[in-house]
Amino acid sequence: MLVLGITLTIFLVVAGLFLYAVVRYRHRAEDADASREPSQIFGSNQIELSWTVIPILIVVLLFLATTRVILMTQSIPKPASSMDVNVVGHQFWWEYSYPKLGVVTANELHIPVSDPKKPTPTYLTMTSADTDHSFWVPRLAGKMDLIPNQINTMWIDPQQAGLYLGQCAQYCGVQHAKMLIRVYADSPADFAAWVAHQKQPAVESADPQAAAGRAIFQHNSCISCHTIAGTVATGRFGPDLTHVASRETIGSGAIPNNNANLRAFVDNPEHFKPGVLMPAMHLNDKDLDAITAYLASLK
């Protein structure tokens, strides 16, 4: 606000002077001395000094205000009540793990809403598995880059429950645009329930089609990239699918999570996200239906 005020004032004053000069000193053909050159003025040290010193004072003011905010954001001690999440950026999805809670998930980040009286900020410890990415949820905080071989940290502290949207803000390849972020700030009770559910291994559905889908999943190369806790699938290259059906979207926020979209995505991932790293598995219709049923059962 201070910044906006200062810059707006400077703009109004200087633009006003320019406008005045341009109108007041325009050449008028009807003037008596129109053909004479105006008086030539070569400069003035006092004036130069004044429009050097005043901007320097403004810069000092802005700099001090800025430094204060930088230190308040980046150098305050981490409270004991905070929660930790490790974030790993991938082409083109987000991996979230909660080291203290033993939960791993992808693309949809759940955090407890913070009570101003007893704040529970979430500290994100970030790195990248491949190219540079940047975590940006505009309503929660500024952005922070995820860079391979480097650990960055940032914190967020939402005080209102709800869904916060964001997306990758550092160009990372073909599908940079569909590397969306969804942050759910849950009430403490909802969050505890979510954690308890996520800690469970994958549900074993009694539905025969889902069981068939599980077999197909485990006999194809799905398992080299995806983890489904409690099964032989332990790949780390793609998102963890243990509770994929509990998410609202698939493809890192690209499309709503429903059976039709799931089936279309497995059939041809390029259809929704051209350039996605998941290959089409060329399954027949029966296998596709079974896989879809299996994934949809992973509540």
Partner 1 sequence: MAADVPVPAEMAQAATTHTAPRRLVLDVLNDWVTTVDHKKIGLMYIGYALVFLVVAGIQALLMRIQLSLPNNDFVSPQAFNSLFTMHGTTMVFFVGMPILFGFGNYLVPLMIGARDMAFPRLNAFSFWISAFGGILLYFSYFGASGLYGAGSAPDVGWFAYAPLTARVFSPGHSTDYWTLAILLSGIGSIGTALNIVATTICMRCPGMKLSRMPLLVWLYLVTSSLVFVAVSPLTAAQIMLMLDRYVGSHFFDTQAGGSAVLWMHFFWIFGHPEVYILILPAFAFANEIIPVFSRKAIFGYAAMVAASVGIGFISLSVWAHHMFTVGLGPGANTFFVLATMIISVPTGIKLFNWLATLWGGKIHFTASMMFAIGFLFQFLIAGLTGVMLSIAPFDWQLGNSYFVVAHFHYVLVGGILFMIFSAFYYWFPKMSGRMLSEKLGKWHFWIFLIGFHLTFDFMHVPGVLGMPRRIYTYEADRGWMIWNMIISSGAIFQAAGTLLFVYNMIWSYFKGPIAGPDPWDAWTLEWSTPSPPPAYNFAEIPTVASRRPLWDLKHPEDPDSNYE
The dihedral formed by the CA atoms of 186, 192, 193 and 194, expressed in degrees to the nearest 10: 60
Residues 122-181 that bind partner 1 (CB under 8 A): 130-132, 134, 136, 138-139, 141-145, 147-150, 152-153, 165-178, 180
Closest CA to 139 of 82, 181, 179, 172: 181
| Beta-carbon count within 10 A of 257 CB | 18
Encoded one letter per residue, x for contact with partner 1 by CB under 8 A and - for no contact, window 18-47 reads: x--xx--xxxx-----x--xxxxxxxx--x
Residues 186-225 that bind partner 1 (CB under 8 A): none
Listed in sequence order, the residues at least 6 apart from 271 whose beta carbon sits closer than 8 Å to its beta carbon are 264, 265
Residue among 131 and 220 whose Cβ is closer to partner 1: 131
* 263 neighbors 288 (Cβ within 8 angstroms): yes
Residue among 176 and 226 whose Cβ is closer to partner 1: 176
Q: What letter would DSSP give residue 257?
A: -
Q: Residue 237, interface with partner 1 (CB under 8 A)?
A: no
Name the minimum Å distance from CB 213 to partner 1. Answer: 30
Name the minimum Å distance from CB 193 to partner 1. Answer: 27
CA distance 121 to 116: 10
Encoded one letter per residue, x for contact with partner 1 by CB under 8 A and - for no contact, window 256-285 reads: ------------------xx----------
Total residues binding partner 1 (CB under 8 A): 77
Closest CA to 298 of 224, 233, 221: 233
Question: Which of these ranges, 9-17, 192-200, 240-248, 280-288, lies near partner 1 under the rule CB under 8 A?
Answer: 9-17
H or E stretch covering 260? helix 259-267
Q: Residue 73, interface with partner 1 (CB under 8 A)?
A: yes
Name the minimum Å distance from CB 271 to partner 1. Answer: 12
Residues 102-131 that bind partner 1 (CB under 8 A): 130-131
* 47 neighbors 17 (Cβ within 8 angstroms): no
Name the minimum Å distance from CB 46 to partner 1. Answer: 11
